[in-house]
Structure 1
Amino acid sequence: MFIFFFFKEIYRIKLPGSAKVGEGKPENQNHAIIFTRGEALQTIDMNQDNYLEEALKMRNLLEEFNEDHGLRQPTILGVREHIFTGSVSSLAWFMSNQETSFVTIGQRVLASPLKVRFHYGHPDVFDRIFHITRGGISKASRGINLSEDIFAGFNSTLRRGNITHHEYIQVGKGRDVGLNQISLFEAKVACGNGEQILSRDIYRLGHRFDFFRMLSGYFTTVGFYVSSMMVVIIVYAYLYGRLYLSLSGLESAIMTQARKRGNTALESAMASQSVVQLGLLMALPMVMEIGLERGFRTAVSDFIIMQLQLCSVFFTFSLGTKSHYFGRTVLHGGAKYRATGRGFVVRHVKFAENYRMYSRSHFVKGLELMVLLIVYQINGAVTSDSFAFLLLTSSMWFLVTTWLFAPFLFNPSGFEWQKIVDDWDDWTKWINSWGGIGVPANKSWESWWDEEQEHLQSTGFLGRFWEIVLSLRFFLFQYGIVYHLNVANGNKSIIVYGLSWLVIVAVMLILKVVSMGRKKFSADFQLMFRLLKLFLFIGFIGILGILFTLLNLTVGDIFDSLFAFLPTGWALLQISQALRPVMKGLGLWGSVKALARGYEYVMGVVIFAPVAVLAWFPFVSEFQTRLLFNQAFSRGLQISRILAGGKKQN
């Protein structure tokens, strides 16, 4: 008998030690560069195109390697881009204009005179011999080099290279055309910039640049994201500061003294607000670029049209995306590649998908700011009437409205009634589905909720510490509200604050009972389980009613207490997630999950209700389609509606 052994003709190169393979794209680039030939190498991405007349200019571009561009020969030749996807929708047009301004005026100035142009994923031409001996054209380490392309520019500059920019040749480029695509791309870039701050490359550039070049390099890379995050932090500081002044009585005292002494300047200062609109300044570089290339009359008309198509709404919403992902990456790390897919994807996005994508980055923050504004309206001394309040907080309300409703405003058929009904059914099915092994996040709320906490599972002690510290602001909010109520005849004793926690403890006990009841009764005794939840709910409402009656609370006090306890519960939820191993050890993780699901229900209803109300009116959907999308797409939507109606009648 002969036994033949076949070794499954499969060859693998085993990496030494415990080396971890990096991201797919830069790994492929660094692997492929050794199979290339010649002295120059052009990097073309999958969403880029080329034109015959531009290809004829390549010989002229390659001659730039031999031209005088300063002290050293160029090592990367920068090339401008032509965005050809701008006519699909208003969002595509905004992105097209933004990209055009960045890759023409921006890149031109970065290259000369600032000398801080790097490589941003454009179709640049590399000096192959220079880069193949200095680590390749990408850095592939997983996580820290998420934005792998810019590190090629960092390496080239650190190794005495010279990067230029040339505008007589261009390559076609397709940009993102849907809001979710754009948000995924901006999230990836923001996470990449968060990791760049932690990289040795930025550290070395900062130490080796002269002062002016260092400032230029900072403000054109990570500094932009630092500034975006600071804008959002300042909004929070402004509102919490205003709330502190009103709840502590300082605002009322200052206003009273100012009126008695006739100090109108102090009174005006207390009632002042920032004139700068958050999303408006982001559009100014576009106006300058369009003015230079096509005339300032065209630039002004385009700017007006962009404002009518809600350009400021888009850029204010984009500000939230940048600041959230940048801040989270700086705190916790864990940046990961997000595939955006730059196709012509203009489709209706379901409510559940929008909720999953924007819940933590926009909806939670928007609702928090909305609660702060409402409580300030109730308790503020400066805002004597509603009109004054709107003037004082108009930009804040614009920010809140944008963060809560922009995904539905820019969603095709976002206000069509039948789509809204289907979206609600899909969302309720998703949020009521339990997770498990192998259940994806788009099928179950529980799986998505676990995914949303991945950054907390991989973070270190400092990340958890700052997550808890940032959550303490809700307790200060609760403290101020409780002592502003008419409880115990104005008694300011600490016991009053302690009594306010009885309600929260009662809620946690009810959630624990529900969690235990679900394990025992939900499978075989559905009716008993539902009756248990009903009795608990009725008993809790009854106890609250008795408590409010005994404490002689007014209707305004009840609303204030509601606004106090909702943020406090959210703070407890955030701290519990940061201390997940501890909560599991205490057997309270089921209660935490039940509390989280309850908050998701409330947030979903609050956000969905205005969208559903607007969908009642047919002209809203018609107006949205004609305003935000091109004529061909609008016509396609009309035809699809007619066909859908005919199918239903049949």
Structure 2
Amino acid sequence: MDIHIFYTVLSAIVGGIMGARARLGEIRSLEMVHKRFESFPEAFAKNLVSPQAKRMPFNRHASQDSQDTNKEYAAMFAPFWNDIIKSLREEDFISNREMDLLSIPSNTGSLRLVQWPLFLLSSKILLAVDLALDCKDTQADLWNRICRDEYMAYAVQECYYSVEKILHSLVDGEGRLWVERIFREINNSILEDSLLVTLSLKKLPQVVQKFTALTGLLIRDQPELAKGAANALFQLYEVVTHDLMSADLREQLDTWNIVARARNEGRLFSTIQWPTDSEIKEQVKRLHLLLTVKDNAANIPKNLEARRRLQFFTNSLFMDMPQAKPVSEIIPFSVFTPYYSETVLYSYSELRDENEDGISILFYLQKIFPDEWENFLERIGRGESTGDVDFQKNSGDTLELRFWASYRGQTLARTVRGMMYYRRALMLQSFLERRSLGVDDYSQTEFFTTQGFELSRESRAQADLKFTYVVSCQIYGQQKQRKDKEAADIALLLQRNEALRVAFIHTEESGAADGKASKEFYSKLVKADIHGKDQEIYSIKLPGDPKLGEGKPENQNHAIIFTRGEAIQTIDMNQDNYLEEALKMRNLLEEFQAKHGIRPPTILGVREHVFTGSVSSLAWFMSNQETSFVTLAQRVLANPLKVRMHYGHPDVFDRIFHITRGGISKASRVINISEDIFAGFNSTLRQGNVTHHEYIQVGKGRDVGLNQIALFEGKVAGGNGEQVLSRDVYRLGQLFDFFRMLSFYFTTVGYYLCTMMTVLTVYIFLYGRVYLAFSGLDSAIATEAKLLGNTALDAVLNAQFLVQIGVFTAVPMIMGFILELGLLKAVFSFVTMQLQLCSVFFTFSLGTKTHYFGRTILHGGAKYRATGRGFVVRHIKFAENYRLYSRSHFVKALEVALLLIVYIAYGYTRGGATSFILLTLSSWFLVISWLFAPYIFNPSGFEWQKTVEDFDDWTSWLLYRGGVGVKGDDSWESWWNEEQMHIQTLRGRILETILSLRFFMFQYGIVYKLHLTGKDTSLAIYGFSWVVLIGIVMIFKIFTFSPKKSDNFLEKYVNFKLFMRFMQGVTALGLIAAVCLVVAFTNLSIADLFASILAFIPTGWAMLCLAITWKKVVWSLGLWDSVREFARMYDAGMGVIIFAPIAFLSWFPFISTFQSRLLFNQAFSRGLEISLILAGNKANVDA
């Protein structure tokens, strides 16, 4: 355990240093994006633009003596940046206005400076005008004040040059002469440092107002407004000539014969040349926004996800990555996604259907993503008041709504959209490279644009040669036959994405020679034809049913033949991708050619961003834990430890290497339940090299409810238990050197062994203390340890407690926060996590991992657990939580609580209460966490009405008799039978028997501590306690006995029931009288009665465990029904112990309010209406 602790701390430090060296976290905020935006084009051109595309053609009429490198870089950067912004708009993360403000001009026109996005220049002109109005110094002083804000200087220069160019394009004749004269005079005064003399800056606001009126007409692109524009231009002329210019210059202009004659004759600015040139149109629109936009740049974009994506993308531009090759020269690659029967696309009815609380998926999404909902309505041209009826009337809008909702869940539609960004990125890159070579007609146009690049046949062909996306929908054929909605939705995705391919297993019935029907299996690949129907591309006859092992790896194995290229990226169906990350795929593929040690890379590890941690505290904990693993932890595993494996998606495999060495998935049943990591084992054993790269990332969905998280962690823990038993781990341990072997151990199965040791430490400590308390040695040992100064036990417990509450789990998180968010935000996040009871969550998680890992080691048989990927902000019923956690947490927690109570009663307490509390604090914390975490983290877990409903549901489940076909969710008996299924082997039964014997220690120790027995330590006392126990069991049998059914059952039953009630009453009265007499006339005290309960409860549980372990023997003796009723009584008792505190706390309304704040602080801090979701929407609907 100590080595594990040292490894955790050192790996966090080393990972943080390596991340800093890799320049992660340099851009942590939108403010940093603003400050460093000027350097983005050069960094982008250096890394992401191929040498072929760097020969970008500029406007042939541009000034050839201008060698402004920044402008050239900006011209290369602009089309890519604008397409990224466009994709954000298509995904509804930004509004139309934000898209205009974030877009960057093409920078290929004749303007003499770099044009930056308007969000950097917003309000800068208005601020500059205010500075000019307040100026009482020289021209140089004014300019210096403006230049303190770099982007204000850019805005002033661009505004000046744009006004000159636009006015020059609008007029001819005398008007053009006037424009040229005005700007010549201003330029001369700037050179002579006499601008403040030439111009009356107090009149600048009037000039801005008049010019804004002019551009406001021009941007409407309606030539019939030319007369109004001419009038606005004449008013501008009047203001400039008579107000802005100095008296001397004004007199010169008034007496200028050519202009004066035209003005007197009414010809001056009577007509204008309406802008038709694309470059002028763009400048007019941009200048109008530059003069009118007053938005705060710090709030653009407003959406947090859009900010995060832009921050990571711009930060990655400065990280080390290979130079991108032209699209025609990159390695062809495929993306591969296994799919079974998960949600493809939400139907309209699914979005509108309400749960028991009156909450629909659409209502939930509207409240969680309010800004994205508004942007969606704006994109489809609807107002905020759009109702359900309006959507139903328009099938196109209904389909858009379905996709909008599906893109915010963990659906196949979201994954397909994200992966198809690879094709879009390749088309854009190929299109620009072809233009740079002048092979397209577009390359000779004056104004640079990428509009319509998706329609370029050459670019599409190039992208299709280099990229293939195969989704292996294993049962797609069966879904089509059953006409499931999933099949229709997959067909819709095929129609909308022409490069998408679907592989599936097709089954055909065929007649054999002997007359018996047989099945033939085919592996098929289809795409959508021009009519939207499935078009078969390949059909491969298989020798038999391919599904022999685990479903998911078999799903991958049958379809991998349909992938193409030299690389293959494995993507799960709850992942996402982004256009800006897809642009970096060319760089990542070049890593196969880079030097990463002695051997070339065979698996390229890719960073993940967990996108499901934005609402609840649980999702945030899981997101942070997962993020620290897929970033910092894997960074260290890859280098310097060289023990990174394949932990899942989205790694990129060397396809040729792996398909010739066993494939990318191991599918043996049970042993390969965690199929992903065996691909890493396989690659490493065959002298492969696994690397990790963090300049590119892919989105990943994670489980967001406690039950989902527990099932996922149970699956992973069980998978690690199977790894312990596998030959792959044995071979790696034999082949690694000592240091690499230790690194591998503590980052795979060793982590779970240490986790189990953490829990076992508590058990061993408490059982040891209880044994010492029973034996009477506790006092002597404690005194001797105090005299000798022996603190070894305290040190072990301190380490155990720190591991238990997740301190060392949090160390990598904190380092990751510091690296990517900054020190202050890291401290704030850590404190917030503690206040939201993350230690309770981590302690509970400890129990989950220990239970499933230990069970797999003892009995084997780990199984895949479907976790579900829906939206979880709903109340989980008490019975459902009890079923899931009863054996993994509740039983173990009550055992620890029993040990603590016994230690309180009989342990050595001379050190005082404080010493005892400090010694057992971690154990009590573990008990509370394991018993009540499912209810603390359960939405509305302490709401009185929910509590009452939960109790009714639990009692009906507990008392419902099972039967054939009855599920465990409906009946306690069915669930109880299912819980015993893991005990199958003789080895398992023997181990369970040995472990169950520990419960007999309670009875053996306590009976000799009773006042009744005094100092008598003979074995007869222990024997008499068994007689009492047998008597209690017989009494229990009398109270729970029921006759078997027969032909005349009803008559006999009525008579027998009357007799049994009489016997039960007599027995109860006799029992009460006997206890009173024994207390009155013997040394038995009231305390002894409670002590006896403490003794007999563990003994009864031990007998129950042994009976379940040796079920066949008990069944043959005819005692199984009694055992079942005995077990029902124990479950009822455990349920009452857990339920009572919950019911008590539910009486106080403020507890429920506090819990909601605790669970959903993330949502409250974002101003989301989470209370509406928790309370339900029925009241609103009724109103």
Report the TM-score range of the alignment, normalised by the length of the smaller protein. over 0.9
**Partner residue of 1:433 out of 942, 956, 960:** 960
Match of 2:520 in 1: 11
**Partner residue of 2:1027 out of 474, 481, 502:** 502
CA distance in 2, matches of 1:462, 1:541: 45
- The answer to whether the Cα contact below 8 Å between 2:1012 and 2:1085 also exists between their aligned partners in 1 is no
- The answer to whether the Cα contact below 8 Å between 2:708 and 2:867 also exists between their aligned partners in 1 is yes
**Partner residue of 2:871 out of 344, 350, 354:** 344
Q: Deviations over 1:585-610 (max 9, x none)?
A: 11111111111000001000000000
Pairwise CA RMSD: 2.8
Matched residue SS, 1:490: coil
- The change in CA–CA distance for 1:518 and 1:89 in structure 2 (over 3 A counts) is farther
**Partner residue of 1:623 out of 1146, 1154, 1157:** 1154
Q: Does 1:107 align with 2:634?
A: yes
Q: Does 1:486 align with 2:1011?
A: yes
- Figure out how many residues of one structure are paired with residues of the other and give that number: 640
**Partner residue of 2:711 out of 173, 177, 184:** 184
Match of 2:1091 in 1: 560
CA distance in 1, matches of 2:1091, 2:618: 39
**Partner residue of 2:819 out of 292, 295, 313:** 292
Match of 2:590 in 1: 63
TM-aligned CA deviation for residue 105 of structure 1? 1.0
Match of 2:797 in 1: 274
**Partner residue of 1:400 out of 896, 903, 927:** 927
Match of 1:465 in 2: 990
Match of 1:54 in 2: 581
Compare 633-642 and 481-490 and name the one that shifted more.
633-642
TM-aligned CA deviation for residue 270 of structure 1? 8.4
**Partner residue of 2:1175 out of 632, 641, 645:** 641
CA distance in 1, matches of 2:634, 2:543: 40
After the TM superposition, which residues 91-490 of structure 1 pair with which residues of structure 2 at under 5 Å, given as runs? 91-254=618-781, 264=787, 274-275=797-798, 276-277=801-802, 278-279=804-805, 280-382=807-909, 385-456=912-983, 458=984, 460-490=985-1015
- The change in CA–CA distance for 1:585 and 1:160 in structure 2 (over 3 A counts) is same
- The change in CA–CA distance for 1:16 and 1:553 in structure 2 (over 3 A counts) is farther
TM-aligned CA deviation for residue 379 of structure 1? 1.3
Matched residue SS, 2:903: helix
- The answer to whether the Cα contact below 8 Å between 2:521 and 2:542 also exists between their aligned partners in 1 is no
TM-aligned CA deviation for residue 72 of structure 1? 1.2
**Partner residue of 1:597 out of 1128, 1146, 1166:** 1128
Compare 337-346 and 200-209 and name the one that shifted more.
337-346
Q: Deviations over 1:350-396 (max 9, x none)?
A: 00000000001110011111111111111122256544432321111
CA distance in 1, matches of 2:854, 2:1167: 37
- The answer to whether the Cα contact below 8 Å between 1:185 and 1:340 also exists between their aligned partners in 2 is yes
CA distance in 2, matches of 1:128, 1:480: 64
TM-aligned CA deviation for residue 35 of structure 1? 1.5
Q: Which amino acid aligns with 1:618?
A: P
**Partner residue of 1:41 out of 565, 568, 581:** 568
CA distance in 2, matches of 1:167, 1:554: 69
CA distance in 1, matches of 2:1061, 2:796: 50
- The answer to whether the Cα contact below 8 Å between 2:894 and 2:927 also exists between their aligned partners in 1 is yes
CA distance in 1, matches of 2:650, 2:1044: 58
Q: Which amino acid aligns with 1:274?
A: L
Matched residue SS, 1:192: helix
Larger Rg: 2
Compare 444-453 and 68-77 and name the one that shifted more.
68-77
Q: Which amino acid aligns with 2:811?
A: L
TM-aligned CA deviation for residue 461 of structure 1? 1.8
CA distance in 1, matches of 2:736, 2:793: 43
Q: Deviations over 1:118-177 (max 9, x none)?
A: 111120011111111111111111111110110000001111111111101000011111
- The answer to whether the Cα contact below 8 Å between 1:272 and 1:392 also exists between their aligned partners in 2 is no
Q: Does 1:570 align with 2:1101?
A: yes
Compare 9-18 and 225-234 and name the one that shifted more.
9-18
Matched residue SS, 1:438: coil
TM-aligned CA deviation for residue 518 of structure 1? 4.4
- The answer to whether the Cα contact below 8 Å between 2:521 and 2:543 also exists between their aligned partners in 1 is no
Compare 609-618 and 249-258 and name the one that shifted more.
249-258
- The answer to whether the Cα contact below 8 Å between 1:270 and 1:382 also exists between their aligned partners in 2 is no
- The change in CA–CA distance for 1:518 and 1:448 in structure 2 (over 3 A counts) is farther
Q: Which amino acid aligns with 1:167?
A: E
Match of 2:491 in 1: none
Matched residue SS, 1:517: coil
- The change in CA–CA distance for 1:187 and 1:216 in structure 2 (over 3 A counts) is same
CA distance in 1, matches of 2:756, 2:682: 27
Compare 161-170 and 381-390 and name the one that shifted more.
381-390
Matched residue SS, 1:519: coil
TM-score by length of 2: 0.52
- The answer to whether the Cα contact below 8 Å between 1:273 and 1:393 also exists between their aligned partners in 2 is no
CA distance in 1, matches of 2:596, 2:882: 50
| Percent sequence identity over aligned pairs | 62
- The answer to whether the Cα contact below 8 Å between 2:939 and 2:1174 also exists between their aligned partners in 1 is no
TM-aligned CA deviation for residue 254 of structure 1? 4.4
- The change in CA–CA distance for 1:257 and 1:315 in structure 2 (over 3 A counts) is closer
Matched residue SS, 1:167: strand
Q: Deviations over 1:487-509 (max 9, x none)?
A: 33321110000010112212333
- The change in CA–CA distance for 1:512 and 1:21 in structure 2 (over 3 A counts) is farther
**Partner residue of 2:1114 out of 576, 580, 583:** 583
TM-aligned CA deviation for residue 58 of structure 1? 0.7
- The answer to whether the Cα contact below 8 Å between 1:408 and 1:414 also exists between their aligned partners in 2 is yes
- The answer to whether the Cα contact below 8 Å between 1:80 and 1:169 also exists between their aligned partners in 2 is yes
CA distance in 1, matches of 2:964, 2:923: 42
TM-aligned CA deviation for residue 8 of structure 1? 7.7
Matched residue SS, 1:41: strand
Q: Does 1:73 align with 2:600?
A: yes
Matched residue SS, 1:79: strand
CA distance in 1, matches of 2:1176, 2:975: 36
CA distance in 2, matches of 1:11, 1:385: 76
Matched residue SS, 1:274: helix
Matched residue SS, 2:1042: helix
Q: Deviations over 1:502-535 (max 9, x none)?
A: 1221233344455652435997549546666555
- The answer to whether the Cα contact below 8 Å between 2:878 and 2:951 also exists between their aligned partners in 1 is yes
TM-aligned CA deviation for residue 274 of structure 1? 2.6
TM-score by length of 1: 0.93
Compare 565-574 and 64-73 and name the one that shifted more.
64-73
- The change in CA–CA distance for 1:538 and 1:48 in structure 2 (over 3 A counts) is farther
Extract unaligned runs of 5+ from structure 2. Answer: 1-510, 523-540
CA distance in 1, matches of 2:1011, 2:792: 30
Q: Deviations over 1:386-432 (max 9, x none)?
A: 44432321111111100110000000000000000000000000000
